[in-house]
Structure 1
């Protein structure tokens, strides 16, 4: 989460090639006291330029757009090397697994369908602005099912230097996050306070160079920290 998200309203950049869609999102978001729409872009190329210039906290990104699609734009925004990069929330009309996984691998912090409610949109913006990642149980199940497919064998975690830096408790927390557990649920399992869990999660993300819990789930399954059905 960027400093501005902590110190003031969440600054949002809207990216969609349909003007009416952007206008609708703006109306929904700007009635909230803690959210400010700082710009709009109609294609991915423009979104990359505006994200660099405006440094929003959250980018609401459509997938199918002219000039540069939303997935390519997301990769460029999240991988631009800046100290503070926006969290990207993908919004699409299409509930497709290829879009879901491509967006998460591109560095998106969440994935939301446009047929959701205004409340869903507002909540999602706040969640990704906090750096938590939008990891709904349905998304978690689909991530897990992908890695459960025959022929998908994650590498041995002992071969990954980053994982070796985790303490046993941090690795345990990562495994629970990968199974979709909330901070409250993790605290119950480990018999610790929720604040302690938040500290462990933050340290895990920092050590592994991950943005949020969504990326932590993918990382954990790719590197064998947990295995489907295990």
Structure 2
């Protein structure tokens, strides 16, 4: 993880914010952590300094997490900020909508600190954090949209065996560097394959690629 990582925790419960800050500072070195009680307060803070990662609650007064994420994801000046949602909401609708909109991870608030750290580490390295809960939400969403599989088959280009191999590694949360080492390829070549996968499947991000792999049966999670 980089030095001088900048985080902002956005949650309306002060006790939760302060508890999480304490745990993170015990486990992370050279990290700057600020806090905000709602989305409006966060946006004011961003006028002064932008963080690398925002840990964002959904239910807050004044400006909730859904509205806040929409502002951040659709404004080019915030394009470098990565969002990890921290929420009590287990409903698949929230997970799917937010992951597909471009947030980098979705963690339930009852997760332990190790999972939060794992998500931060993955996102800081440019990866999406897809937890078991997120996988389950994707699989349920897929099972409820059987017609969608047919549209994938009709509209997406056929993947090469190498592209399918890389897609499976993406589903296993390999980084580009780890995939390059596994397949004896350069990181630049992996980048090229990843970009072609996005173009061929019509997906917008890694979460979309994982959903595509699950839906088409290219990857199966036991």
Deviation at 1:23, TM superposition (A): 0.8
Number of residue pairs matched by the alignment: 212
Contact 2:102/2:205, CA 8 A, preserved across alignment: no
Deviation sequence 1:203-227 (CA, Å, 0-9, x none): 5258849785324324x36xxx952
Aligned 8 A contact 1:173 1:200 in 2? no
Show structure 2 runs of 5+ residues with no match.
Answer: none
Deviation for aligned residue 1:202: 6.8
Q: C-alpha deviations, 1:108-152, integer Å up to 9, x for none?
A: 111111112222222221211111111124422321331222444
2:174 to 183, 207, 215: 183
Query: How far apart, CA to CA, are the structure 1 residues paired with 2:89 and 2:29?
Result: 30
Name the SS for the 2:209 alignment partner.
helix
The 5 A counterparts of 1:103-118 are 103-118=98-113
The answer as to whether partners of 1:170 and 1:201 remain within 8 angstroms in 2 is no
* Greater mean deviation of Cα atoms: 80-89 or 60-69: 80-89
Q: Which residue of 1 aligns with 2:85?
A: 90
Gaps of 5+ in 1: none
Task: Please state whether the residue corresponding to 1:14 is helix, strand or coil.
Answer: strand
Deviation at 1:33, TM superposition (A): 0.4
SS at match of 2:80: coil
Deviates more, 1:42-51 or 1:15-24: 42-51
Residue in 2 that maps onto 1:19: 14
Question: 1:200 is matched with which residue?
Answer: 190
After the TM superposition, which residues 20-169 of structure 1 pair with which residues of structure 2 at under 5 Å, given as runs?
A: 20-31=15-26, 32-37=28-33, 39-51=34-46, 53-82=48-77, 84-154=79-149, 155-156=151-152, 159=155, 168=160
Give the whole-Å Cα distance in 2 for the aligned partners of 1:99 and 1:113: 11
**1:33 & 1:198 partners in 2: Cα distance?**
30
Deviation for aligned residue 1:173: 4.6
CA–CA distance in structure 1, aligned partners of residues 56 and 218 of structure 2: 33
Residue 227 in structure 1 maps to residue 216 in structure 2: yes
TM, length-normalised to structure 2: 0.76
C-alpha distance in 2, partners of 1:159/1:81? 29
TM-score, normalization by structure 1: 0.73
Taking the aligned partners of 1:34 and 1:9, their CA distance within structure 2 comes to: 5
Separation in 2 of the partners of 1:211 and 1:47?
A: 26
Residues 1:28 and 1:42: Cα distance change in structure 2 (over 3 Å) = same
